[in-house]
Chains A and B, each alone.
Chain A
Amino acid sequence: MSKETSKNKVAKLDAEGLSLKSVSLWQIMWRRLFKRKSALVGMGILALLVFVAITADWIAPYSPTEVLIGVEDVTARQAPCIHLLGCPKDQPQHIMGIDGNVRDQFSRILHGARQSLFIGFATVTFAIVIGTVLGALGGYLGGWVDNVIMRVMDVVLAFPSLLLAIAIVTVLGPGLINALLAIGIVSIPAYARVVRASVLSVREMDYVSASKAMGGNTFHILFKRILPNALTPLIVQGTLGIATAILDAAALSFLGLGAQPPMAEWGSMLGAERNQVFTAPHLVFYPGLAIMLTVLAFNLLGDGLRDALDPRLGHVAG
């Protein structure tokens, strides 16, 4: 009941254009985000992933690279053994089974969360930083600078992203860092375009001219007056971009171009055992499921953020 009244109050104040100071955009965003079941599911999965990534060393029953030959009575690619589901108590418990190199797959999956989150955040941060600089320069300076930058972005966008990433990694040589760099490069245009559009939309506005008239230098105007406008579309694009980056990085690792063994990375775990899908399906199933859940979490959160930050929806809706 009290929730309902506060909602009405916000709506009323908004309608009258009063007292917006008391409810910031971020508060509205959080409020709307928490009302969406799908965004909540996304945040839930994400919280779990972050928890697992931080505590993997403590909660994983084994080390991700520990070979269990001679340590326990297990064989390569042994099916999962879960005591609760009727696996004999005298056998060691491995809830996701044993991989081709006789390691505990559950521990490897837990440690893989670290790589995936790192991959997602690292590539998107790289792409956002470069994309923002390029987009801001192009949008603010205009003219030939803008033309050159945007034509280069067009060329990058002309390639199917995964293929360009493959071509770049082939040249740079396989490896996780090179794969990240390749995916980062192919995702720059999306951010450059978002930032450029925001810059263009406010460049000629009175408050920018005022700031210029007051003697603000270009740097100050660009970063303090203009770029904050690009923040919300960047957050949405970035969250969805993390999902794509994780998916593409997993594909590169699957093809043997990304993370190299013995690193516990989901894509390369899946790639290493893909020919065993008929004899040891658990080695393909779990890494893929982990990738899917992670990507799903970022997609759900990104969609939720887009709706929550969309000014057209009005402050009450959602």
Chain B
Amino acid sequence: MTTYILRRILSSIPVLFGILFATFALARWIPSDPCRAILGEKATDVVCDRFIHEHGLDRPIPIQFGYYLNEIAHGDFGRSFRYGEPVSKILVERLPTTVELSFSALFVALMIGIPLGVVSAVKHNSWVDVLTMFWANIGVSMPVFWLGLMLAYVFALLLRDTPFQLPPSGRLSPGVLPTSFAKAWGWELEPGFLASVVDFLARMNILNALLSRDWDLLKDAVKHLILPSLALGTIPMALIARMTRSSMLEVLGQDYIRTARAKGLPKTKVVLKHALRNALLPLVTVIGLSLGSLLGGAVLTETVFGLNGVGRILYDAITARDYGIVQAFTAVIAIFFVALNLLVDISYAYLDPRIRLE
């Protein structure tokens, strides 16, 4: 197992290197002159020459790439031209929103997708099955941004003044100010690494509310998260339902299931204990595949629901031509994505010994 993990980590190093080179190349590829793109049209030649020299833009490309790698190794992803702040600081502020959204979307997808898949496999070719697969097909074809807008329309406008009314934007109701769980626990933290980790965690409202046992905050945060999670979770939900169904069908046809039934075990027990456990293996892969659509979809979902996450700031950066942010965020998200896929692969090998013995 250790050899497998090591081999897998080593094999992702060239990919990481490639990602960094790709984002570096994208930034150099910008057609206009970088100085005037950053300092504005009115920058004089003298100012520009100094700017180019200071940023090392007059050096050979391989050396520039070396500088870039060095900066990233020190956690420096550059600055945003627009906010004048280091990108890493903006990331720490915005990433918790996106992480919270992605996890709750995945949670929704698993909680609805798996039972749907199991039921349609057990009741193969029944109306439940046909209906589920029909919805799964519609689900994977749905534009995330459209679904988000339509959900907002239905739950915020049509169902207004009913118990089902849900807020169409934001993370919390106006006036609700969350306090960090560290404060609730009476922690006094010096600024430093631990403080930023605590700060990062506290920015995830649901986690923070649970840790500080603030039930009003929890209720408010959950209410605001339902619609975005539904919108973002629909595609993974449909994929998970399809995958669970097909792998369930395969497992249910195997001999050991027949044996279990023949020795008189109740059907529910066989389905849930014997079959589901094996059928869920391929699901790990589907979750890995869904991560990409979750991260991409987060840009759209955050834009639609006015959430201040990584996706939203990426959208703002694109409209403002803030290349620094676009470059850095693309790199960070891709690295994040590679790391998550690595985790998925390793857990797959852990769950299925055949993989690591290959």
Contact = CB atoms under 8 A, between A and B. Distances in A.
A248 B338 CA distance: 21
Given A171-B26, A171-B29, A159 B330 contact: yes
B299 A162 contact: yes
A160 B337 contact: yes
Contacts of A167: 23, 26, 326-327, 330
Given A160-B293, A167-B26, A257-B318, A155 B19 contact: yes
A144 B315 CA distance: 39
A159 B149 contact: no
B144 interface: yes
A151 B299 CA distance: 27
Chief secondary structure at chain A's binding surface:
helix
Interface string A148-167: 00011011101111111011
Contacts of A251: 143-145, 296, 300
A296 B135 CA distance: 11
A305 interface: no
A167 to B, nearest CB: 4
A221 to B, nearest CB: 31
Contact of B19 (A159, A278, A284): A159
Interface string A283-307: 0110111011101100110010000
B72 interface: no
Contacts, number: 142
A191 interface: no
A256 interface: yes
A271 B300 CA distance: 11
Top 4 closest A-B pairs, CB basis?
A: A288-B146, A162-B296, A155-B18, A296-B141
Interface of A: 38, 151-152, 154-156, 158-164, 166-168, 170-171, 173, 243, 247, 250-251, 254-257, 267, 270-271, 274, 277-278, 281, 284-285, 287-289, 291-293, 295-296, 299-300, 303
Given A154-B14, A164-B334, A267-B143, 6 more contacts: A158-B15, A162-B299, A170-B318, A254-B300, A274-B149, A292-B143
Interface of B: 14-15, 18-19, 21-23, 26-27, 29-31, 137-138, 140-147, 149-150, 152-153, 156-157, 291-293, 295-297, 299-300, 303-304, 314-315, 318-319, 321, 323, 326-327, 330, 333-334, 337-338, 341
